[in-house]
A and B are shown apart, each in its own frame.
Chain A
Amino acid sequence: MAKTLSDLLPSAPDSGCSELATTLKSALDYDQLTNCMRCGFCLPACPTFRETGIEAESPRGRIALMKAVADGLMDPDEAFETQMNHCLGCRACEPACPADVKYGQLLEQARDSVEKHTTTHRWWVKAARKTAFDGLFPHQNRMRLLGGALQMYQKTGLRKLVRGAGLMKMFPAHMREMEAILPDASYKGVVEQIGAFHPAKGERIATVGLFRGCIMDVLFTETNKHTVELLNEAGFDVVIPESQNCCGALHAHSGEQDGAKALAKGNIAAFKAAGVDWIASNAGGCGALLVEYDHLLHDDAQWKQDAAWCATRTIDVSKLLVEHGRLQSAAQAAVAAGAGSMVGSGASIGGANNGSRSGVPASAPAAVSAISPHGHAAASGGCGGSCSGGLGFASDEKVRITYQDSCHLRNVMRSSEAPRKLMRSVANAEFVELAEADRCCGSAGIYNLTQPQMAGQILDHKMEHVKHTGAQYLLTSNPGCLLQMKNGIEKHGMSGQMEALHLVDFLHERICGKH
C-alpha cells in the first residue's frame, strides 16, 4: 500500500501542471516549507483560524497547501488563491513557531506568484491596483496631490454635498465607514511644513533619519511633526531625507515584489546619503518592511550590503526613545509637572536613560561613539529647567489609557515592551492592558478593504475587549491600526467616551513642561 510520491499525482507532474504551479514551485522556499513540522502551535495565534476553526485558514494549513503545490500534489486553483488572500499577514504565527519558520516570506512568495498569474481580479480591481501601486504610492508628490484633493473634498463642503446627496450609498458599507473616519488630509508633507533638519535639545546623542511614510505624510502629517519633536526633546538630531519614498509594504504584501524592491532601493540610497545613525519609523507596517530590506534584496549583489545596513539601523520611535533617548521616569515627570502624588503606575523607564549618557549602548552605531561623553546636558528650549533629566510626560487630568499592538511592530520588529514603558512613564495616566492586544485588529494594510467580512468580524471581537478596559484613550503605533480603531469606536457607538490616537500624538500632547 505504500505509494511513492509519483503514484499520488493525479497525472504526470510536468504535463498537467499549470503555469501558476510552475511559478510557485520555483518561488517558494522549499527549506522553509520543510521546516514546518506541523506541531500546530501557530493555530491559536492565528486570527483567521480563531474566527473560523478551519485548518485551511491557519498558518499550518496554508503552509501545507503551499507545500502540496510545491510537491506537485495539488494544482493551485481559485480556492488556493482565496486562501492566500484571506491571510491577514499579521505574522503573529512567527513568534509562536518553535521551528522559526519564516511564514511572512512564504506568504509573500505565494502571493507574488499568484499575482503574476491571477485571473480572478476584475478589470477595475486591476486598474485600481495599477494606479495605486505604479502611479501613486511610489511618487510622494502625487501622494501629496491626492492629499490636496482629499483635503479639498473634506474642507470645501464637497464632502457635505456628497454625503447629503446620498452619493456615499453607492459605495459598499465598509468603504463608507472608512470614508467617515479618514483624518483631515494635508497636501503639504512634514518637510514642506517644518523643513528637513531639526537639531537635538541639549547634547546630541545621535542623528536620526525620520521615515515619514507615504500615507503617514498625507493623512498623519501632524504625527510626523510630533515624532520629530519627541526625538529632538530626547536628544536626537533629526533629518528627513527628501528623496525617500513609500516603503513598499503594500506592494510586498500584495504580491508586487518588483515594485517593492525598487522602492526599497530608493529609501536605502536616501538614508545612506543622509549619513544617519538610526532610521526612525512611527508606523509599524512600514518599519517592518524596512527591517526586512535585507531579505527583500538578498539576491541583489549590488544592494545586499546596504540593505542589511538599512535593516539593522531601522528602529521604531518608541524603542529608540526608550533604549537610547534621554527620558524621565514617571516619578520624575510627575515632580517636574508638579503632580508628585499622582504618578500612574510609577514604573521607571528601563534602558540606557538611567545614569550617565557617557556609556554608549553597545548596539548603538559606531558614529555615536564619537560624541563626547558628558553627563546629562542641561536641556534647553521648551522643557525649562525642570526637565533637565530629559523628555518626560505628564497628563493634566487623570486618564486611563490602553494600547492595541501593531502586529508588524510586535511580530516583525519584535517591539512590544517599549511602547508600554512609554505609556507607563506618563505621570497621572493609568495604563491598562487590553485583552488580546497582541491580536490583529483586522486592518492589516488594505485587508479591511479587500476582505471586509472577515475584517469586520475580527474588529467586532476586538471592540468587545476595548470596551472592557474603560479607557479614555486607545493608542496604537501604526496608521492602519489607528484608522481601524477609529472605525471600531465609531461603529460601536463609543465615540463619546473614547478616542483613538497614535501613541506619538498622545505623548506629544503631554510633554512635561511644554504645554
Chain B
Amino acid sequence: MIHFPFHYPFILKGELYMLQQAVAGKLRAIVGAQWFKDDPESLITHSYDGTPMLQTLPDGVVYPENTAQVSEIIKVLQEHRVPVVSRGSGTNLCGGTVPVQGGVVMVMHRMNRILEVDLENLTATVQPGLNTKAFITHVEGLGLFYPPDPSSMAISTIGGNIAECSGGLRGLKYGTTKDYVIGLEAVLANGEIIRTGGKLMKDVAGYDLTKLLVGSEGTLAVITEATLKLIPPPKTKKTMLAMYKDLYGAARTVSKIIESRIIPATLEFLDNPTIRVVDDFAKLGLPLDMDAILLIEQDGDAETVDRDIARIAEICAGENAERVSIAADEAEALKLLTARRSAFTALARLRPTTILEDATVPRSKIADMVLAINDIAKRHGVTICTFGHAGDGNLHPTATTDARDANEIHRVEEAFAEIFEAAIALGGTITGEHGVGLVKAPYLEWKVGAAGIEVMKAIKHSFDPNNILNPGKMFAKSARKRVVLHRG
C-alpha cells in the first residue's frame, strides 16, 4: 500500500514494466522514432508534476501528433496492458499526472492548435495541448472572452484544465472550466474515438458524457479535441480593497454582498498570517494588525459597475471595515491586485516545501473555516496561511514546511486530514478545484460516501475495464480512517 499522501523518502517507483522492446517498437512506428523516448533524462523529467513530494518514473514518454496516433497508441498499450498517463504541462497540485504505476506518459503538447473560432456561434474548437493563456489572448484579440483563469494559465494547457476542471479567480461570477466545455472528442481505452456534445447550447441526448469527462483526471478517456463556449467580454472593471480587524466582519461582508444579489467578478481573501508574509515580501505597507483583507472586483457596464462598487463599499463600511480603497485607475487596480497575486510567491519563499490545498465550504461558512484552520494549525504546531477565493468558498490553506523533516511532514499530514474533515462538517468538500488525483484519493470517500465510491468505480470500470488509463488515481486502495475533530 502506498503510504500517502506525505511520506519521506518521497520517491516512489512504479511497478517496473520495463516496456518490452516490442511495445516501444510499435509506439515508435506510430509516432516516429524521435517522438517516443525512454532515455533516463526523459523518464526523470516526466516523473513528477506540480505536487510536492511525489515522484515515480514512467517507462516511456510519447508525444502524439493527432487523434489517429492517440488511438493507435492506446490500442497498443491496451493490448499489452501498459498504463498510460495523458498530460499537458504537468502543473496540477493533486499528483494527477505522476505515473505511480509506471507505464507510458503521453504528452499532448504537439496537439496545440486552435482549429476554429466560430464567430457566428461564439465557440472555439481547440486541441488539448493548446496553452491556456495563448488561447485566452487569442480570443480576446477577437473581442471575445474565455473566463476560466487558473493561476497556472501561463503554462497550463486546455486539455489539462479540462481533465482537472480548473477554476480560478473568475469562478465566482463566471463559473469554471466545466461551464465552458460544450463538446469533446476523446479516445477510449479500447482506442475507439467518441464525440460528445457539440456547438450546442442545449443537448440532452443521453447521459451528459461531456460533463462526465470534464474533471475525470485522465481516468476515463484521453481528450483529443474540445469545443468551448465563448462569451462577450465585460465592458469595464473596477477594483477595491477592504481591510478588517475582525475576521467575522470580513466574512459577513462576503455573505452580505451575495445576499444583496451582487455577484462580484472577483472576491478574494487574505488572512493575517498571509498578510504578514505578503507585506514582508512585497513591501506594500499593509497594516499588520488586520485580521483579513478582501480584494473585490466588479465588471460589466460602467453604470452597473459603479453602482455595485458603491454598494459594496457601503456594505464593507457597515461591517466595520477599517479601511476601504477603490482603485482610481488601471495602475492602482494592479497595485491592489499585487497583494493577492504575491500570496503564493511570498509563501513559497518562506520554507523549502509549500503544500497548497483547496478545501471549499459554502460561502457563508468562510469565517468558521478560517478559524478552524488556524486552530488546527496551532494544535499540530505547523504553519498554515490561508488565502483564496472567498466569494465561492474556495480557500487555499497553505502549509509552509520542509519535505526533509519527516516529523513535521507527518504533523502537516495530520493537520490537513483534520482540515478536510472540518470542511466536510461545514457542508463543504475536500477539493474545490485541484482535483483528487493521488493526494486526496484516501479522503474521497469522506465526501462522496461508500455508495458514491461504488458508483464512481463502476463508471471507471465501464470506461476502462483493464485499468490502464491513469491507474492508481481517484480511488485509494483503502480509505483513510476518519479523524475525530477536537472541537472547543
Residue positions of A touching B, CB distance < 8 A: 1-5, 7-8, 31, 34-35, 37-41, 43-44, 53, 55-56, 61, 64-65, 68, 71, 73-75, 77, 79-80, 83, 98-100
Q: Show 30 A/B contacts (Cβ-Cβ < 8 Å), sorted by A.
A: A1-B12, A2-B2, A3-B12, A8-B11, A8-B57, A34-B352, A34-B403, A35-B352, A38-B49, A38-B52, A39-B348, A40-B155, A44-B131, A44-B133, A53-B112, A55-B90, A55-B107, A56-B42, A64-B44, A64-B47, A64-B48, A65-B44, A65-B45, A74-B40, A79-B40, A80-B41, A83-B41, A98-B345, A98-B349, A99-B349
Q: Which B residues are in CB contact (< 8 Å) with A39?
A: 50, 91, 152, 348
Residues of A within 8 A of B12 (CB): 1-3
- Find out whether the CB atom of A31 lies under 8 angstroms from the CB atom of B50: no
B7 at the A interface (CB under 8 A): yes
Give B42's nearest chain A residue, CB to CB.
A56
Q: Given known contacts A2-B3, A5-B11, A64-B47, is B40 in contact with A37 (CB within 8 Å)?
A: no
In the bound complex, residues from chain B placing their C-beta under 8 Å from that of A61 are 45
B15 touches A56 (CB 8 A): no
- A53 lies within 8 A of B110 (CB): yes
Residues of A close to B15: CB separation below 8 A = 1
Q: Which residues of the other chain, B, contact A38 by a CB distance below 8 angstroms?
A: 48-52
SS class of chain B's interface: helix, strand, loop or mixed? loop
A474 vs B155: C-alpha distance when bound (angstroms): 29
Closest chain-B Cβ to A283's Cβ sits at a distance in Å of 30
Closest beta carbon of chain A to B126's beta carbon, Å: 16
The answer to whether A53 and B109 have CB atoms under 8 Å apart is: yes
Residues of chain B lying within 8 A (CB to CB) of residue A3: 12-13
How distant is the Cα of A7 from the Cα of B344 in the complex, in angstroms? 35
Which chain B residue lies CB-closest to A53? B109
Are B7 and A2 interface neighbours, CB within 8 A? Answer: yes
Identify the closest chain A residue to B345 (Cβ). A98
**Shortest beta-carbon distance from A55 to chain B in Å:** 4
Q: Are B89 and A40 in contact (CB under 8 A)?
A: yes
B residues bordering A, Cβ < 8 Å?
A: 1-3, 7, 9, 11-13, 15, 39-42, 44-52, 57, 63, 89-91, 107, 109-110, 112, 131, 133, 152, 154-155, 344-345, 348-349, 352-354, 402-404
The distance from the CB of B178 to the nearest CB of chain A, in whole angstroms, is 23
When distances are taken between beta carbons in the complex, the residues of chain A under 8 Å from B354 are 37, 99
Task: List residues of chain B with CB within 8 A of the CB of A79.
Answer: 39-41
Q: What residues of chain B lie closer than 8 Å to A77, measured between beta carbons?
A: 40
Inter-chain contacts of A65 with B (CB < 8 A) = 41, 44-45
Assess A37 versus B91: contact at CB under 8 Å? Given A44-B154, A79-B40, A100-B349: no
Take A37-B52, A98-B344 as given contacts and tell me if A7 and B13 are in contact as well, using a CB distance cutoff of 8 Å: yes
List of 8 A-B pairs having minimum Cβ-Cβ separation, nearest first: A98-B345, A61-B45, A40-B91, A53-B109, A5-B9, A55-B45, A98-B348, A99-B348
CB-CB under 8 A from B48, the residues of chain A are 38, 64
Q: Within the complex, what minimum Cβ distance (angstroms) separates B277 from chain A?
A: 12
Contact of B44 among A34, A35, A43, A68 (CB under 8 A): A68
**Chain B residues closer than 8 Å to A64, beta-carbon distance:** 44-45, 47-48
Inter-chain pairs besides A8-B57, A74-B40, A100-B348, 9 sampled, C-beta below 8 Å: A31-B352, A34-B352, A37-B50, A37-B353, A39-B348, A40-B49, A40-B90, A44-B154, A99-B348
Residues of chain A with a CB closer than 8 A to B345's CB: 98-99
A3 vs B14: C-alpha distance when bound (angstroms): 9
Chain A residues in 8 Å Cβ range of B3: 2
A1-B1 contact in complex given A37-B354, A65-B41, C-beta closer than 8 Å: yes
Most B Cβ at <10 Å: residue of A4, A40, A43, A61: A40
Return A185 CB to nearest CB of chain B, in Å.
41
Q: Which residues of A have CB within 8 Å of B155?
A: 40-41, 43-44
Distance to closest chain B CB from A213 (angstroms): 34
List, in ascending order, chain A residues with CB within 8 A of B7's CB. Answer: 2
* Cβ A41 vs Cβ B154 within 8 A: yes
Partner of A34, one of B49, B89, B112, B404: B404
Give the distance in Å from the alpha carbon of A5 to the alpha carbon of B39 in the complex: 20
The residue of chain B having its C-beta at the shortest distance from the C-beta of A36 within the complex is B352
B residues less than 8 Å from A99 (CB atoms)? 345, 348-349, 354
A73/B49 in contact, CB under 8 A: no
Bound CA span A317–B404, Å: 44
A103 nearest CB across to chain B (Å): 15
Question: What's the Cα separation between A61 and B154 when bound, in Å?
Answer: 17
- Residues on A with C-beta less than 8 A from B51 are 38
Which residues from chain A contact B63 at a C-beta distance below 8 Å?
53
Q: Which residues of A contact B154 (CB under 8 A)?
A: 41, 44
Bound CA span A405–B424, Å: 51
Q: Does A74 lie within 8 Å of B352, measured CB to CB?
A: no
Q: Which residues from A are CB-within-8-Å of B13? A: 3, 7-8
In the bound complex, what is the Cα–Cα distance between A55 and B353 (angstroms)?
22
Distance, CA A3 to CA B42, complexed state (A): 21
CA A65 – CA B112 in complex, angstroms?
26
B50→A40 contact, CB < 8 A: yes
Give, as a whole number of angstroms, the nearest-CB distance from B281 to chain A. 10
Q: Which residue of chain A lies nearest to B87 when distances are taken between CB atoms in the complex? A: A55
**A80 CA / B44 CA spacing, docked (Å):** 11
Cβ–Cβ contact B348 & A37, under 8 A:
yes
CA distance A159 to B12 in the complex (A): 61
Nearest CB of A to B129, in Å: 8
